[in-house]
Amino acid sequence: MISPLWLFAVPLLLAAADNDARDVLIRQLDQRAFGMLEQRAKTVAAISTHEAAEKRKAEVRTKVLRAMNGLPNARGPLNAKTTGTLERDGFRIEKVTFESLPGFVVTSNLYLPAAGNGRVPAVLMTPGHGPNGKAGEYQLAANLARNGIAALAYDEMGQGERWQYFDPETKKSRVGGPTGEHSQAALQSEALG
């Protein structure tokens, strides 16, 4: 007969072993990453000419493109649409959708100076990993627009209006915030290497 104590001990032992394996893996990955960062720092520090900088830029671009299996070849019209305008003090916000690829709609806010309709300098606002997406760029984009610079803030997948795993009942993501959404979407491609 198996002691009832084993019923409690076995799961605890398995959890401890799992934590130990996780810690070992994290240490190994950290060691590898820090080694790569050290090598990168040496490589960058050795760059002393414009030609060397351009060569390094080309090498990095090639590696990044290879890692992401290149850029999409599909091109098409942006099919940009303004769905609304918000007038603010010293600027306005145009709610714009566009297709970054055919049929792939991106939601964005275009901050424009209130004065004039001519050409102005522009900045692309790339959001971080916050759940608000483009809305998180409001203060900086508004300040740019008030100072005569257009700013386009957009929602990345899993942020703002572009949740991929949206639960209509909870009004939240089924898999967590933006980082959880990005990670969930990446699982399929990671399984394929």
Dump pLDDT digits (tens) for 109-144.
Answer: 999 999 877 899 999 998 877 778 888 899 999 999
Residue linked to tokens 């609304």: 84
Q: Does 25 lie in the same domain as 110?
A: no
Q: Is the pLDDT score of 185 beyond 80?
A: no
Quick one: 171 and 90 in the same domain? Answer: yes
62 occurs within a structural domain = yes
- Any domain includes 191: no
Domain edge (last residue) among 23, 44, 67: 67
pLDDT attached to residue 8: 57
- Domain co-membership, 117 together with 170: yes
pLDDT tens profile 11-58? 655 566 666 777 888 888 889 889 999 999 999 999 999 999 999 999
- Report residue 9's pLDDT band, with 50, 70 and 90 as the boundaries: low
- In degrees, to the nearest 5, what angle opens at C-alpha 19 toward C-alphas 18 and 22? 85
SS (H, E, C) the chain: CCCHHHHHHHHHHHHHHHHHHHHHHHHHHHHHHHHHHHHHHHHHHCCCCHHHHHHHHHHHHHHHHHHCCCCCCCCCCCCCEEEEEEEECCEEEEEEEEEEECCEEEEEEEEEECCCCCCCCEEEECCCCCCCHHHHHHHHHHHHHHCCCEEEEECCCCCCCCCCCEECCCCEECCCCHHHHHHHHHHHHHHCC
- Of 18, 34, 67, at which residue does a domain stop? 67
Tell me whether residue 171 is in a domain.
yes
User: How many domains does the chain fold into?
Assistant: 2
Final residue before a domain boundary, out of 67, 93, 117:
67
Which CATH number is 110's domain given?
3.40.50.1820
Domain of residue 29 covers: 4-67
Q: What is the pLDDT of residue 37?
A: 92
Q: Which pLDDT band holds residue 176 (cuts at 50, 70, 90)? A: confident
Q: At which residue do the structure tokens 């290879």 appear?
A: 66
Predicted confidence at residue 93, as pLDDT, reads 97
Please check whether residues 94 and 63 belong to one and the same domain: no
Asked whether residue 88 falls in the same domain as residue 159, the answer is: yes
The answer to whether residues 92 and 62 belong to one domain is no
What does the chain come to in residues?
Answer: 193
Same domain? For 44 and 90 the reply is no
User: How confident is the model over 74-98, as pLDDT tens digits?
Assistant: 788 999 999 999 999 999 999 999 9
Quick one: 13 and 87 in the same domain? no
**Cα–Cα dist 150/109, whole Å:** 10
173 lies in the same domain as 91: yes
Q: 72 in a domain, yes or no?
A: no
pLDDT value at position 114?
92
Same domain, 179 and 113: yes
Average pLDDT of span 150-166:
85
Same domain, 19 and 85: no
